Amino acid sequence: MPAQRLTRDQALDRITEVFRRWGYDGATLRMLSEATGLGRASLYHHFPGGKEEMAHAVFAHIGGRVQRHVIDPLSGAGTPRERLERHARGVSRVFDGGKSNCLWGAMVLGGGIELFADEIETALTAWIRAVAAVLRDAGVAPREATRRAEAAMVRVQGALVVSRGLASTAHFQRVIKGLPSALLGEV
């Protein structure tokens, strides 16, 4: 939609990056304008609700990516372990090997938790549920499956924060590597 240069999806990619990097409060229309190559006024043409609408659109946009790379791999063919390994690779990819923040985390701690609490909660819950389902397939009791899936989410989110705080993606990489085993209770 934005110019001939960028499709709406491409523009949302750029917008997403800005929100991920700067959080809701930190992101400005200037940044969003530069990132997309659209004037500020043009942004309002595509997103009449302004910054808030852009953020909502970004949640939907991200939702698709997460579905493809994180959730779908869990329900394909293969043993639970194989599916979890595909999943782990997808998680790594979604966060660019630990170089990119989590949009949800950025929103949680970077303003916008009030505006987007529902979207964040829904997204986190869907992810956790999908992981727990695979663990049940692997014979893990339901409560324990949910508990482990939540623990995995905790570790992924924490790894992203610590990787940023210590300026090294090593912590993220380590968590990703151990994800399938940890979920399967092999530690």
What is the binding site for DNA (CB under 7 A)? 1-4, 27-30, 37-42, 44-46, 48, 50-52
Q: Which of residues 115-174 bind its own copies (CB under 8 A)?
A: 117, 120-121, 124-125, 147, 150-151, 153-159, 161-162, 164-167, 171, 174
Rounded distance between C-alpha atoms, residue 149 and residue 134, angstroms:
10
CB atoms closer than 10 angstroms to residue 160: 22
Partner that binds at residue 162, options DNA, its own copies, none, CB closer than 5 to 8 Å by kind? its own copies
101 lines the binding site for its own copies (CB under 8 A): yes
Coil vs helix vs strand at 1 = coil
Residue in the structure block whose two tokens are 């939540």: 150
100 lines the binding site for its own copies (CB under 8 A): no
Whether 115 contacts 52, CB under 8 Å: yes
Residue in the structure block whose two tokens are 């979920």: 183
| Residue 90, token pair as written in the block | 């997808």
**CB 169 to its own copies: min, Å:** 13
Element (H, E) at 138: none
Partner that binds at residue 167, options its own copies, DNA, none, CB closer than 5 to 8 Å by kind? its own copies
Rounded distance between C-alpha atoms, residue 115 and residue 51, angstroms:
12
Rounded distance between C-alpha atoms, residue 64 and residue 84, angstroms:
19
108 lines the binding site for its own copies (CB under 8 A): yes
CB atoms closer than 10 angstroms to residue 5: 10
Q: Which of residues 14-53 bind its own copies (CB under 8 A)?
A: 22-23, 25-26
Partner that binds at residue 51, options DNA, its own copies, none, CB closer than 5 to 8 Å by kind? DNA
Q: Which residues bind its own copies (CB under 8 A)?
A: 22-23, 25-26, 101, 104-106, 108-111, 113, 117, 120-121, 124-125, 147, 150-151, 153-159, 161-162, 164-167, 171, 174-175, 187
